[in-house]
Amino acid sequence: MSPLVTVITSSLNDALNLSLTLQQVSSWGYPNIEYIIVDGGSTDNTIEVVRSYGSLVSHFINEPDAGIYDAWNKGIRIASGDYIAFLGAGDSYVPRGLSKLVDCAEQKPSADYISSKVAVRDGARVISVFGKPWCWKCFRRYMNTAHPGSLHSKRLFHHYGQFDISYKIAGDYEFLLRPGSELQAAFLDEITVNMVAGGISCTGYGVFEEEERAKNAHMTVPQTLSRIDRCIHTFKRWARIQLGY
């Protein structure tokens, strides 16, 4: 039997994008999914949207939370899957994308973290593709993996706890810094997720401040170097925005 995969989506007043994701669930092509939606108490028509796709949703939590990582933690606490994935509202797996991630995981059963590539889209147009193999030399300085296109073994959370909700943007990066060089990882060199463009982690600068804080907290690099990394990444994003990328 195929391993059970828990997919967690958090949302807040984002019924339109959530509906787009729900429309695609049946086309993901993986037979054993537990789909959890954790909503932060939306005041739009999110509840009605979720009810209209009731057979696809295993659990629906609708209550105030302290942000995306608090929402994800709520999902983790009730997750039954052998692997846990996090998918944003509006994002979707490409056909057989999830199956290929699971195949990759089964080919390397010792791996606790399996990542792939993600296509960032503005409608039908692909803006960019990101996601590289996890390696400690790179990851200790910046997040080079694609979190939306990743699977996490449930034992990873058993061993290292849950997300730190004091982070608002880079909590996924901080979490994966905890195992450090001991993390067992695998990489699928294919696009598995179509991700909608936008979001503060893609357009704002706060993510670099939080990454610096996480690196300093785990002492992955000297503080001077983490500050230099922050300045470099901030400048690169500023330049891309100015050039319209």
**For residue 202, is pLDDT > 60?**
no
**For residue 123, is pLDDT > 90?**
no
CA 137 to chain centre: 21
Total number of domains in the chain: 1
Query: Which residue range is the domain that position 88 belongs to?
Result: 5-195
Domain membership of residue 76 (yes or no) is yes
Instruction: Outline where DSSP puts E strands in 165-219.
Output: 185-196
Q: Is 241 exposed, middle or buried (0-12, 13-18, 19+ CB in 10 A)?
A: exposed
Domain membership of residue 32 (yes or no) is yes
**232 band by pLDDT with thresholds 50, 70 and 90:** confident
Domain membership of residue 229 (yes or no) is no
CA-nearest of 177, 186, 234, 180 to 206 is: 234
pLDDT value, residue 171: 97
Beta bridge partners of 90: none
Domain membership of residue 208 (yes or no) is no
Domain membership of residue 101 (yes or no) is yes
**203 band by pLDDT with thresholds 50, 70 and 90:** low
Domain membership of residue 27 (yes or no) is yes
Domain membership of residue 224 (yes or no) is no
User: Running DSSP on this structure, what letter comes out for residue 243?
Assistant: H
| Contacts of 89 by beta carbon, 8 Å cutoff, 6+ apart | 9, 10, 11, 14, 17, 18, 20, 21
Query: Within a 10 A sphere around the Cβ of 96, how many other Cβ atoms?
Result: 15
Q: Is 244 exposed, middle or buried (0-12, 13-18, 19+ CB in 10 A)?
A: exposed
- Residue carrying structure tokens 């692909």: 126
At 70, the amino acid letter reads D
What does the pLDDT average to over 157-178?
97
Judged by average pLDDT, the poorest of 50-59, 107-116, 149-158, 225-234 is 225-234
Whether the CB-CB separation of 191 and 97 falls below 8 Å is answered with yes
**201 band by pLDDT with thresholds 50, 70 and 90:** low
- Residue carrying structure tokens 């400690």: 136
Q: What is the pLDDT of residues 39-98, one digit of tens each?
A: 999 999 999 999 999 889 999 999 999 999 999 999 999 999 999 999 999 999 999 999
CATH number at residue 174: 3.90.550.10
In this prediction the pTM is 0.93
Whether the CB-CB separation of 191 and 119 falls below 8 Å is answered with yes
Domain membership of residue 79 (yes or no) is yes
**141 band by pLDDT with thresholds 50, 70 and 90:** very high
**For residue 110, is pLDDT > 70?**
yes
